[in-house]
Structure 1
């Protein structure tokens, strides 16, 4: 904003300048707060029945978006070009997941059965003191852990 320290006649006017600057600062803070959406890392099992799990990942991501969170769901990307049955590629994908998890402010865990990979991601989230939200497969929230 171009708040001028001088009035329209060219005289120094610090009171008006300070008032308009404060108003502008408050408006910017309100806009920023209104635009904030948490990044939610969606954690779920992908190994096993990959096709069904990818469909579930899509459903969970849509749910997160509808709840005004930005879904971070690498399980929708990596199976397209990486083989989950190849241990080296699986470990590489898990490393990618941990990096992306670091960009999230919350972790959303879906489903009742916790796989080995999910347990590792949840452990990383706990270590980073991230907010963890637990959901059933039917998208019902069952708990929260800070």
Structure 2
């Protein structure tokens, strides 16, 4: 039984408080469920070209990641992260970035290789993408090869 500040029973206030607390707990459960669903999305390693026209390739990679999010995935794009931290022109730092990327690839459920398909339905892969492809095969990851135009 709810009691007021003077210690007397107050069933009306008690009923109101129980309704407020019930609504609060229901809202917390909805929030927890939504957050859990987002955190449990499949993780996908995004492999696309970075070298060459870096600005265009970076924009494309961001677009691919946004499409993955829209389709219910958590994208991991190491080529958007490590070039900002490591010097891609330094061979040791480049190798470190590639190995960091492969470590992240190992944590993912799927690996997507994205680029422009040629007439033979193959995409052009950079050396880094080829290394990621070999690692994905070695780890028996689900691999998807997509034309970048497919991801919207």
TM-score normalised by structure 2 residue count: 0.66
Report the structure number with the largest CA radius of gyration: 2
1:89 to 77, 87, 93: 93
Length, aligned pairs only? 109
Structure 1 gaps of 5+ residues are 1-30, 141-146
Matches within 5 A, 1:1-146: 35=37, 36-111=40-115, 112-139=123-150
Q: If the length of structure 1 is used for normalisation, what is the TM-score?
A: 0.69
Query: For residues 124 and 106 of structure 1, what CA distance do their matches in structure 2 show?
Result: 12
Q: Kindly state the Cα deviation for residue 42 of structure 1 after the two structures are TM-superposed.
A: 0.2
Instruction: Name whichever structure is richer in helix by fraction.
Output: 2
User: Unaligned stretches of 5+ in structure 2?
Assistant: 1-32, 116-122
Query: What's the RMSD between the two structures over aligned residues?
Result: 1.8
- In 2, Cα distance between the equivalents of 1:128 and 1:59? 27
Match of 1:7 in 2: none
